[in-house]
Amino acid sequence: MTTVAAPVTMATIATRVRDRAVASPDLIALREKDLGIWQQVSWQGYWDTAELVGHGLLALGIEPGDRVAIHSENRREWLYTDVGTVAVRAATVGLYPTNPVAEVGHLLRHSGAKVLIAEDQEQVDKAVAVDDLPDLTHIVYVEPRGIRNRYDDPRLLAWPDFLALGEKHRQAHPQAVTQRMDESRADDVVTLIYTSGTTGPPKGVMLTAANVDFAIQELIERGGFTAPPPSPRDSVLSYLPLCHVAERIFSGWFGAGAGVCVHFAESIETVATNLHEVQPTVLFGVPRIWEKIAAGVQIRVESADPVKRAIGGFWLRRADWIGDVLAANGGRHTAASRAVYAVGWLFCYRALKDRLGLRKVRYAASGAAPIAPEVLRFFMGLGLPMHEVYGMTENTAVATANRPGRVKVGTVGEPHDGVEVRIDESTGEILTRHPGTFAGYWHDPDATAGVIEPDGWLHTGDVGEWVDGTHLRITDRMKDIIITAGGKNVAPSEIENALKASPYIKEALVVGDRRRFLAALIGIEPDTVGHWAQLHRLPYSTYGDLSAKPEVIALVQTVVDEVNVRFATVEQVRSFRLLPKLLDHEDGELTATQKLKRSAVTNSFADLVESMYAGDAR
Amino acid sequence: MTARTGRPLLYLSYGQDMALLNTSAKRGWTLVLAIGAVALPFLLTDDLLVVLATACVASIGAIGLNIVTGYGGQVSLGHAFFLGIGAYTAAAISGDPDSTRLIGFGITSVPIWLLGAGLVAGLAGLIVSPLAARLRGLYLAVVTLGLVFIGEHIFKHWKHLTGGVGVGRPAAVPELFGIQFAVDGEVFTKAQKLYLLMLVLLVIFGVLARNLVRSRVGRALAAVRDRDLAAEVIGVDVTRYKLIAFAVSSFYAGVAGALLYVMIGFVEPGSFNLALSVQYIAMILIGGVATISGSVLGALFITLLPRVTRELPAVLPFISSSSGSGGITVFQVETILYGLLIIGFLIFEPRGLFGIWNRLRTYWKSWPFSH
């Protein structure tokens, strides 16, 4: 590691929450909707419960360096547990709520978690179904429904009982948690973040207290993303899985580091409603979310009554133009675009943004996967300060970001201050070096040695290039680069994202490695294509049936043709097949973060791939 | 809990969720409306103010009918009967105690005869409500129709109370804190004072009704309306709530009846007939079933309609202003218009004027989408 271990007492998220509880006890830290009402938790209440969780963990025998797993949707208990765990110098391991039993088993076994905080019966069932977990001594369940008085697993413990245990421990040893916090050191592993693993099983990224501290200082306190830096006046909606580093930053660390008020969405299905209610000021989304919102706007304007369709359509076209102007000016308005926007704001954009819950957003970001520039421009045109950012779990998500006012669409922005980024001359791979570089993969020194150079440089596995010497453009994942039979290097993600920018396309997978031409497996977006089919009086039953309709294939063909025009001949998709089913995490086709597992998909649809190259000798 | 988040939909408490004026836009427009309503007496002529005052009173009556028919789903044609009871109770309480011809107690304070009229009418409603508890739909309508005829008979023949057909008796005397409302004062005219009094009373009774229908009682009534069996299954005491609906509705009718004749100063026993009941049904159908603001809109509409038709002869020569001169009279036009409006609203806008307003509001609220 490049960091010099601080002597003692490291600033962690626990000390930060505690300091906020002292400095501004009554400010609101968390809000969660319960029976229709947003229940509020002050910083005082946040720290009080988190400390109680810390005592509870001590009572359960958690020692420094132990792991505490959390298997839950985003909710207050997630953050209480995270902060409480860090306070007692243990490491938090987040499990995706969608993880199937086999993966839960692997993660619990591999991490060696001693205590599991499980949200409800569903998650408890998954853990109980796994046999061989020698390290797991306690399973704390948050929602008692269906569990209490029905399960007799001796490891089970209800959340209130767990807190009562903590209360008892606090009375017996009032200083125990504080003492642990004072002992915390820079190289304490505070969290294991399992990377989604588009190849092979997930690997546990060890982030230390120093890593997290660097990320908080760099991204939040020094305003690495937002300008001005976030403050208690900001609010965020927590809706992406907290086990992912991006959401951990935007809801966990934005809260602890800057006092931002965190609102928990009820579920991923209610995000649209919750956004409308909460109207956050800072919003992070993965490309899939932004694509879905953009497609929703287009479909809903098209299906509005004639007057609204005419007016809405008119202003959406103006927004395209405004977006182009903004993109050309680094995100800054020209006098003309500002004037057009002001009129459009009155007629359309204000109401539209309010409906989408984006009206108060002062900083919007997309990351975690590549996004099509059209989608970014669409939101910029609506007046949303949109920024693409780049980082990965292994560097605590600190690498580059488009800074407000210096946006270059199509790039992932400039390196943060104090962050070294270079591109390997021979391979084109992006390397980063800074104090946020992770401590290694959990129990996997070989893999660690494979990505961290002895001199501290981290291999990101992404291929990129510099644009104008300041901004970084990512070409693709290194291992995804396709080399056609003609010897041309093609970056599939660019083509895929251009395809996915269409509201009708949900998934796209370009294949063609060692083949004569490129072909694509395409998954249609059921909502929008279903709506389109309705408009065209096209009856259908299932997703598979809809995908097989010649009219739908023709529709996708027009999208493919439009995209092909923008690419060189070798990069054009000559053939495609529609996927007969929605890709799913459970079937191993998507990762927990809904990223496509290329090899899994090409394997399960090998016959479709072959049919595209039928009659085409290799 | 009153922290301002600047986000009207971020409900931090049930109180905020249930608040009548939950957005700043609503607060602002209500203020504008209130200022406008209070400023009217200084802008309009007295004869128009009298019509508006009548409209305010009719609104209270319409709200009453809407509680039992709109919210409770119990069709009542007997509203005229309860209006009559209210009118005569108030007239009797405030009547001249020295008169040998008519009953009178000489208490002219508004709150006393107003409450008296409401309570007596409410009691009458309570007495007939067991009928409602056992009947539904058309049968209930016919039974309440019977009430109107019984009432008409009593009012015509109890001369000691009503003065008898063609004679009538003076209406209730409005007096509050020593102010006589029914005579011209030094600062305000009679019409101005009456208008303001009726406006205040409408606001009071309107808010009371709104609170009633958005609370437990209102929800229970709606459940009974939508399906009484289902309501009973989910634990709503159907009989009890039908009783409450009738009692409250009759109370409102009594209050409206007591005030209705104050403007003219005279009550005629023949006026409490089926036509009056139908007029109130027209108000809630045109205004909007099961809405308080709709009741007010409907009452305004129906009360102002004669004012408008009376102007017709000047524009359309084939309409005459008095009978006997051939052609069609304004009164006939009025009746035809009632009929046409009711048919038109039932077919094209069953939710009434309020429905139109609602549709407009939704149109702008959902901008730039359709839903």
**String of DSSP letters for B138-195:** HHHHHHHHHHHHHHHHHHHH-HHHH--TTT-EE-PPPEETTEESSS--SSS-HHHHHH
* Contact flag A37-B14 (C-beta cutoff 8 Å): yes
Structure tokens at A363: 């900083």
Percent of chain A's residues with pLDDT above 90: 80
Nearest to A278 among B10, B366, B368 (CB): B10
Q: The CATH number of A481-612 is which of 3.40.50.720, 3.30.360.10, 3.30.300.30, 3.50.50.60?
A: 3.30.300.30
Mean pLDDT of A489-511: 91
pTM of the entire structure? Answer: 0.87
In this prediction, residue A618 carries a pLDDT of: 45
* Total domain count, chain B: 1
In angstroms, rounded to a whole number, what is the distance separating the alpha carbons of residues B55 and B303? Answer: 6
Structure tokens at A522: 């395409």
Q: Is residue B354 part of a domain?
A: yes
Assess contact for B161 and B119: CB atoms under 8 A.
no
In angstroms, rounded to a whole number, what is the distance separating the alpha carbons of residues A526 and B368? Answer: 23
A183-233, pLDDT tens digit by residue? 999 999 999 999 866 667 889 999 999 999 999 999 999 888 988 899 999
Beta-carbon count within 10 A of A9 CB: 13
Burial (0-12, 13-18, 19+ Cβ within 10 Å), A208: buried
Residue B10 Rama label (left phi>0; alpha psi -120 to 50; beta): beta
B279-321, pLDDT tens digit by residue? 999 999 999 999 999 999 999 999 998 888 888 888 877 777 7
Is B270 a residue whose pLDDT tops 60? yes
pLDDT band at A2 (very low <50, low <70, confident <90, very high): very low
In angstroms, rounded to a whole number, what is the distance separating the alpha carbons of residues A244 and A396? Answer: 11
B231–chain A nearest CA distance, Å: 23
Kindly write down the DSSP assignment for every residue of A171-201, as one continuous string: HH-TTHHHHHHHH--TT-EEEEEE---SSSS
In this prediction, residue A41 carries a pLDDT of: 96
In this prediction, residue B177 carries a pLDDT of: 85
* Side-chain half-sphere CA neighbours of A23 within 13 A: 11
* Side-chain half-sphere CA neighbours of B199 within 13 A: 19
Q: Is residue B37 part of a domain?
A: no
Assess contact for B368 and A352: CB atoms under 8 A.
yes
Please report the sign of the dihedral spanned by the C-alpha atoms of residue B66, residue B67, residue B68, residue B74: positive
Instruction: Kindly report which listed range (A69-73, A388-392, B9-13) carries the lowest average pLDDT score.
Output: B9-13
Assess contact for A390 and A401: CB atoms under 8 A.
yes
Q: Is residue B120 part of a domain?
A: yes
A146-162, pLDDT tens digit by residue? 998 899 999 999 999 99
Structure tokens at A480: 């995804």
Is B217 a residue whose pLDDT tops 80? yes
- Pick among B4, B361, B367, B371 to test the A interface (most A CBs inside 10 A): B367
Which among A457, A277, A270 has a CA at the least distance from the CA of A358?
A277
Delimiting residues of CATH 3.30.300.30 domain(s) in chain A? 481-612
In this prediction, residue A199 carries a pLDDT of: 65
Structure tokens at B215: 């609370």
* B235, B239, B244, B245 alpha-carbon torsion, rounded to 10°: 100
Is A5 a residue whose pLDDT tops 60? no
Nearest to A300 among B12, B13, B369 (CB): B369
Is B3 a residue whose pLDDT tops 80? no
In this prediction, residue B328 carries a pLDDT of: 80
In angstroms, rounded to a whole number, what is the distance separating the alpha carbons of residues A104 and A560? Answer: 39
A276–chain B nearest CA distance, Å: 8
DSSP letter for A423, please.
E
In this prediction, residue B2 carries a pLDDT of: 44
In this prediction, residue B324 carries a pLDDT of: 64
The CA-atom distances, in angstroms, between B98 and each of A560, B159, B167, B357 are: 97, 16, 18, 52
Class level of CATH domain A13-278: alpha beta
Nearest residue in chain A measured CA to CA from B366 = A355
pLDDT band at A588 (very low <50, low <70, confident <90, very high): confident
* Contact flag B14-A352 (C-beta cutoff 8 Å): no
Structure tokens at A4: 């010099």
* Contact flag B370-A305 (C-beta cutoff 8 Å): yes
Assess contact for B258 and B33: CB atoms under 8 A.
no
A38-65, pLDDT tens digit by residue? 999 999 999 999 999 999 999 999 999 9
In this prediction, residue B326 carries a pLDDT of: 66
Residue with more model confidence, B288 or A9: B288
Nearest residue in chain A measured CA to CA from B363 = A308
SS3 B28: helix
Query: Distance of alpha carbon B303 from its chain centroid, rounded?
Result: 11
Chain A residues with CB-CB distance to B370 below 8 A: 300, 303-305, 308
In this prediction, residue A580 carries a pLDDT of: 94
Nearest residue in chain B measured CA to CA from A315 = B368
Sheet with A420-423, strands from edge to edge, namely A420-423, A429-433, A458-467, A471-477
In angstroms, rounded to a whole number, what is the distance separating the alpha carbons of residues A134 and B262? Answer: 88
Chain B residues with CB-CB distance to A40 below 8 A: 12
Beta-carbon count within 10 A of B8 CB: 15
Is A277 a residue whose pLDDT tops 90? yes
- Residue B229 has phi, psi (to 5 degrees) of -65, -45
In angstroms, rounded to a whole number, what is the distance separating the alpha carbons of residues B148 and A129? Answer: 74
Please report the sign of the dihedral spanned by the C-alpha atoms of residue A299, residue A303, residue A308, residue A310: positive
Segments forming the whole domain that contains residue B151: 43-365
Nearest residue in chain A measured CA to CA from B13 = A37
- Pick among B1, B10, B12, B359 to test the A interface (most A CBs inside 10 A): B10
SS3 B11: coil
In this prediction, residue A1 carries a pLDDT of: 42
In this prediction, residue A476 carries a pLDDT of: 87
Sheet with A518-524, strands from edge to edge, namely A505-511, A518-524, A573-578
Establish, for the pair of chains A and B, how many residue pairs have beta carbons separated by less than 8 Å: 52
Q: Which residues contact A70 (CB under 8 A, 6 or more apart)?
A: A78, A81, A82, A92, A93, A94, A95, A116, A117, A242, A243
Nearest residue in chain A measured CA to CA from B10 = A277
A341-399, pLDDT tens digit by residue? 999 999 999 999 999 999 999 999 999 888 999 999 999 999 999 999 999 999 999 99
Q: Which neighbouring-strand residues pair with A263?
A: A31, A237
In angstroms, rounded to a whole number, what is the distance separating the alpha carbons of residues B1 and B21? Answer: 16
Q: Which residues contact B131 (CB under 8 A, 6 or more apart)?
A: B140, B143
In degrees, rounded to 5, the angle at the alpha carbon of residue A202 between the alpha carbons of residues A199 and A205 is: 120
Instruction: Check if the interface score ipTM surpasses 0.85.
Output: no
Q: Which residue is it, tokens 């089913």? A: A581
Chain B residues with CB-CB distance to A279 below 8 A: 6-7, 10
Q: Is residue B325 part of a domain?
A: yes
In angstroms, rounded to a whole number, what is the distance separating the alpha carbons of residues A583 and A261? Answer: 35
B19–chain A nearest CA distance, Å: 14
Q: Is residue B51 part of a domain?
A: yes
In angstroms, rounded to a whole number, what is the distance separating the alpha carbons of residues A136 and A155? Answer: 8
Beta-carbon count within 10 A of A308 CB: 19
Is A31 an 8 Å CB contact of chain B?
yes
Beta-carbon count within 10 A of B203 CB: 13
A556-573, pLDDT tens digit by residue? 999 999 999 989 888 999
B11–chain A nearest CA distance, Å: 6
* Contact flag A279-B367 (C-beta cutoff 8 Å): no
A298-335, pLDDT tens digit by residue? 989 988 999 999 999 999 999 999 999 999 998 899 99
Chain A residues with CB-CB distance to B366 below 8 A: 355
For chain B, how far is it from start to end, CA to CA, in angstroms?
A: 32
SS3 B218: helix
Residue type, B24: S
* Contact flag B369-A308 (C-beta cutoff 8 Å): yes
Chain A residues with CB-CB distance to B24 below 8 A: none
